[in-house]
Amino acid sequence: MSPRVAGWLAMGAAVGGAVAGGWLLAMPPWSIVGAVVLVGASILLSVGTVWLHRRSWDEPWPPDVTPSVQKRLRRARVIQVVGSALTAGMVGIAVFALVRQDWGQLVYAVVLLIMGAGNIELNRRVMRQLRDNEERSGG
């Protein structure tokens, strides 16, 4: 049996199990059993979905879908621009909170500003490593 057929069968069984679990859930003495059946049906549905996307049982899972260095660099640049814009917004919110003397909002904005600055620094290091890897592989 191929993984796709097994996936369809598992998904069908999961739907049937979900219907049975829902029916049991409505019957007071069997409610807990119905909840357990619903949990099992949801797990079976997710496993069936994974099987549905496999081509063969020998295929490694998860598949290797590592993006190229150029795509990772482009994504890191976009994240850096968005992070910089969000950091500028947090500075504005912090100034607004300071003017209104809303100390709770100011503390919240400063914490988010520190976290954002840490993410931008981490992103810069990742971009530097990606550029170095690109130069090594290209040169």
| pTM of this structure | 0.49
Pick the range with the lowest mean pLDDT from 3-7, 13-17, 117-121.
Answer: 117-121
Instruction: Indicate the average pLDDT of the chain.
Output: 87
DSSP per-residue string spanning 66-119: PPPHHHHHHHHHHHHHHHHHHHHHHHHHHHHHHHHT-HHHHHHHHHHHHHHHHH
pLDDT digits (tens, 9 = 90+) for 46-59: 999 999 988 888 88
What pLDDT was estimated at residue 106?
85
pLDDT digits (tens, 9 = 90+) for 90-100: 888 888 888 88
